[in-house]
Structure 1
């Protein structure tokens, strides 16, 4: 496991351990890995940073890297003769925008990606460059898992944790309409389980790895947050036009939510037939929300925050203005 100490990487590591597999975690040493793994340390972005991987062999490798594609290139090349399979956790951001509703894995991809690129490229080009790096080194032994919105226990982006924290505080809460807007996402644990199953089967090539469109709705998600927190929150469902006119930024100010349009189609309406035919299963939203709340409470109510991602959530002053409006 390249990474393996936070969120998706940790979910993969813990799932593999639960199967009785022997797990090696290569990480930078910023966070403690799960007990029981073989831990190797190094910084893949520095000269000689992969030295700890110079020896040994593995049945499969999982890589969640989202920075410079050259880091994927170097690791994949180093391991290509000593690992049987390479899974790269990519993103549906690799599709050329705007990605229309119903787009499958054969959709057009972003131009200009390179496995040799550094860290100064966009997220889409970084992920596509990482895919190319994995393919260059492993060919038909490379699995490209194109995830979308990932939530669940351990989330270090802050989307579901923000909603849980805000709703737990109670009182009137701005809720972005419409209530019945379908959402497409995946619990990190379901992603981890499928990644390991797929790698064990030797699956290769690209797979869109999220739930079916409409697996839940914005209304069900927020209602569930109210229920699991035991809050007295009063969800004030607000028309998208009102929110946009007030300067609310979809996805960042009100996480998960997108109004109808190109971005909504891209992120919540993708075709996932291939992955589900290959065994992907997504647990009910109630389980994801409840388990995330339990994890969050166990941390004192504060979720970790990735340093390379901006904090999300609606400014309380803007929310107050909208509620008074």
Structure 2
């Protein structure tokens, strides 16, 4: 199999490239060249936002294209049009954010979608991802696979959610652990997402799939306790009622990454219907493996995860944490 990876040096794209190389596929990475591609992949250079930025893709044929773009949908439109007739399958790594918020618990792929266009320039994230989907479908039809991910964790994470929890717990002391402890989580390890995408493309699957684990694949307690174990920390997790956390003005998801209190946004992120993707073969590794491998990666790179410049900083200020813990003790 010949794979063209648009991107391919960070997080999900890197996981796709590493998996494809391990399968013996011939892999070409197309990006701006700021980072070297993973070993075993060839490189083409270009900037999708620049005039003539796709010139290096004007020649060549590929069985599968994987695209993780989250900027202007017009960039996906231009790439798909250029590759039409020279690529067998187009995988667009999208997001469950293409549905208007809030998404009801149990929503499947056929839930309402945001209004968007493949001709859009820079737009907010939901419209950008939906516009990218429309661009892929317009050219590749049923040979376009729309992988709608939710929360993505694992090594090479460049958003900083799990790395923040690992770093915070590694520091030790009393840790504000947002409850309830048995709060169920739904996410996907980037490597499991990558493996499913390649399997599905090889099988010729098309259309939208919610590519995350079953609801309750793990819990907030299991996740944070795994962080304590792998770091070898003496940290004490102090489980705190969600009402107390939000009453203190702490922002779920950003100041306390991954966590959302029970309610509409929690249902949106952690209670989606994934029966279609599970029937199509998605397999999700245990949370302990994701946490351990992410910690190993963090230590290899010196403990500081690289962060995407287009995403906000995550994590709770230590002084705010101490203040809330003091009031709850």
Give the TM-score normalised by structure 2. 0.97
**Is structure 2 residue 81 aligned with structure 1 residue 108?**
no
Q: Give every structure 1 segment of 4 or more consecutive aligned residues whose post-TM-superposition deviation is greater than 2 Å.
A: none
Correspondence for 1:77: 81
Matches of 1:227 and 1:84, distance apart in 2: 45
Count residues in correspondence.
323
**Is structure 2 residue 292 aligned with structure 1 residue 290?**
yes
Question: Secondary structure of the residue that 1:266 maps to in structure 2?
Answer: helix
Unaligned runs of at least 5 residues, structure 2: none
Correspondence for 2:266: 264
Unaligned runs of at least 5 residues, structure 1: none
Correspondence for 2:120: 117
Which of 54, 57, 69 is equivalent to 1:53?
57
Matches of 1:252 and 1:133, distance apart in 2: 31
Farther-moved stretch of structure 1 (157-166 vs 311-320) = 311-320
1:138-163 Cα offsets, whole Å, 9 max, x none, are 11110000000000000000000000
1:62-101 Cα offsets, whole Å, 9 max, x none, are 0000011001000011001100000000000001221000
Question: Secondary structure of the residue that 2:62 maps to in structure 1?
Answer: coil
1:153-203 Cα offsets, whole Å, 9 max, x none, are 000000000000000000000000000000000000000000000000000
Report the aligned-residue RMSD: 0.6
Correspondence for 1:16: 20
Question: Secondary structure of the residue that 1:23 maps to in structure 2?
Answer: strand
Matches of 2:317 and 2:137, distance apart in 1: 42
| Higher percent of residues as strand | 2
Matches of 2:154 and 2:191, distance apart in 1: 7
**Is structure 2 residue 33 aligned with structure 1 residue 29?**
yes
Question: Secondary structure of the residue that 2:6 maps to in structure 1?
Answer: coil
Give the TM-score normalised by structure 1. 0.99
Cα deviation for residue 36 of structure 1 reads 2.1
Mapping of residues 171-250 of structure 1, within 5 Å: 171-250=173-252
